[in-house]
Amino acid sequence: MRHQTMQSHQATGSLLYRATIPLAMLALACACVLGVRSASAASRDNDAHVRIVHASSKAGPVDIFVDGKKLLSNVSFGTVTDYKTLTPGKHEIKIAPAGKGEKAAVITANANVKQHGYYTIAATGSKQGDVSVKGFKDDNTGSTKDAKIRVYHLSPDLGTVNVTTSDNKKIVSDLHYEQASDYITVPAGSYTLNATASKTDKKLPIKADVKDGKVYSVFVLGEQHGQPPLTYKVQSVVAQSTTAQPGQTPTGTATKTVTPAKTKSPTR
């Protein structure tokens, strides 16, 4: 097994990870899966915050090792972890097929973890033995008077996606695979959003019950023509103050405000 710091193309059995982001970020993500404490707990301003999404439809479960210790076992498809924190510094990260042990690791990376920032790291891919890693910068700042929603397109065969409200108002246009939308600011309420494939008109109804002062992430997962089937996961966090901490710059994409029609009893 080679020791890599930028990209990895090693395989053990049928499991292959191909890093499509710098492995420093990949290592940061993996190291944080079971960090000292979750991001919702009191934390120092120096911490980084990372969550992991297993969106690779053909990859089996994995174990994650940090500095020689197993920190997470049997991570399966569809898992979205909470944000976790890690102190700055260098860490050795290893990822192995579940139950095979640290020596079976298919990725080894040395990472110098940086201060501040929120990240989502997604394992993606649709072919047996071929898994990529995609990283996103998150912006969890917001107001106590409304909510924010962001859509992550992680379905490999859905094609370009548009997202509309129940009253047919388009809020996301032409979102490609392995991309995340801008943040959408909405009033509190219960909504039904429709993620629609632009080529096939395949629709995935998404129930979103949102509250003021929170940031919601919608992950579109699975396959429309294969297994596991098309589905979604919603995760929310409490919005942070829009005032950055000393030395910290909020990250993320643009934010737009919409007022979609509310639904009393939205269904999937």
Residues 152 and 229 in one domain: yes
CB 133 within 8 A of CB 120: no
Instruction: Give the pLDDT mean for 226-248.
Output: 79
- Structure confidence at residue 242 (pLDDT): 67
H-state helical runs in the chain = 23-31
Rounded distance between C-alpha atoms, residue 62 and residue 74, angstroms: 5
Q: Is 57 a member of any domain?
A: yes
CA distances in angstroms from 245 to 3, 45, 115, 116, 242, listed in the order given: 36, 7, 12, 9, 9
Residues 26 and 124 in one domain: yes
Instruction: Give the pLDDT mean for 158-180.
Output: 93
Residues 157 and 123 in one domain: no
> pLDDT tens-digit profile of 69-80?
787 789 899 999
Domain boundary among 77, 111, 138: 138
Q: Reduce the DSSP state of residue 174 to 3 states and report it.
A: strand
CB 150 within 8 A of CB 216: yes
**Domains contained in the chain, number:** 2
- Structure confidence at residue 121 (pLDDT): 79
Residues 176 and 106 in one domain: no
Residues 36 and 82 in one domain: yes
- The domain in which residue 233 lies consists of 147-257
Percent of all residues in the chain with a pLDDT value above 70, rounded to a whole number: 66
Rounded distance between C-alpha atoms, residue 105 and residue 96, angstroms: 4
- Structure confidence at residue 268 (pLDDT): 33
Residues 102 and 178 in one domain: no
At 15, the pLDDT band (50, 70, 90 cuts) reads very low
Q: Which residue reads 């007022």 in tokens?
A: 259
- Structure confidence at residue 30 (pLDDT): 44
Q: Is 5 a member of any domain?
A: no
* 3-state percent helix, strand, coil for the chain, nearest multiple of 5: 5, 50, 45
Q: Is 216 a member of any domain?
A: yes
Residues 231 and 152 in one domain: yes
Give the amino acid at 200.
T
- Structure confidence at residue 8 (pLDDT): 29
Residues 37 and 80 in one domain: yes
Name the DSSP class of 8.
Answer: -
- Structure confidence at residue 210 (pLDDT): 94
Which region among 5-14, 70-79, 103-112, 140-149 has the lowest average model confidence (pLDDT)?
5-14
